[in-house]
Chains A and B, each alone.
Chain A
């Protein structure tokens, strides 16, 4: 299962989070985990619109080497990149009048959280949730 959603505005972000929730439900995630995934997609897609104007969200089913099922979301843009990642990851920090909880908040909601970014070369954020609790 894989889906790609182009993000240009907040309505696209809502579509992306609905698709993420739907896939999480099909994979057997609990309602709380479905909501964690959906809210994370919402925050990251909104961040992207704010800082990079547009980009895309890829949602796919994954398996680890032991065959464990997970859901992975990639939020990718070609925007300005994040100059100070440590600062961006601190609670309450925002350079754009946002609420400043997008990145650290999303990290708390998910099992894996990886940021690849450099000034001028865009940002790719990969988040994952694993179906079974031993990963929690």
Chain B
């Protein structure tokens, strides 16, 4: 499954789908980092509003994407986490540290554009 990476006003926008396999997650990570370099975008918005589960593997991938993007000079915002994903991540013991989170794509986009 190819995940499109959109560019809008110097922000890259990626909508993560449901039930992404491990291989797809690793490929998305690499594709995003290459796209950051190619476009020179300094903001990355990961929308997870349709993601119905973040386990320890997916949590690690999200942390890695944000940290790798940061090393390259690009800020990351994650938008749209559902209540069930937030509850189960915390109960499991997962953390998303150093990543800005936003209720909606619009708010995440505004934060990346305006701060």
Write the residues of chain A forming the contact surface with B, with a CB cutoff of 8 angstroms: 10-11, 14, 17-18, 21, 31-32, 34-36, 38-39, 42-43, 46, 91, 98-99, 101-102, 104-106, 108-109
**Which of B59, B84, B91 contacts A31 (CB under 8 A)?**
B84
**Which of B19, B21, B56 has the most chain A CB within a 10 Å cutoff?**
B56
Residues of B contacting A: mostly: helix
**B92 close to A (CB within 8 Å):** yes
Write the residues of chain B forming the contact surface with A, with a CB cutoff of 8 angstroms: 19, 21-22, 52-57, 59-60, 83-85, 87-88, 91-94
B21–A106 contact, CB under 8 A? no
Residues of A contacting B: mostly: helix
A43–B56 contact, CB under 8 A? yes
**Which of A10, A17, A98 contacts B53 (CB under 8 A)?**
A17
Cα distance A99–B56 in the bound complex, in angstroms: 7
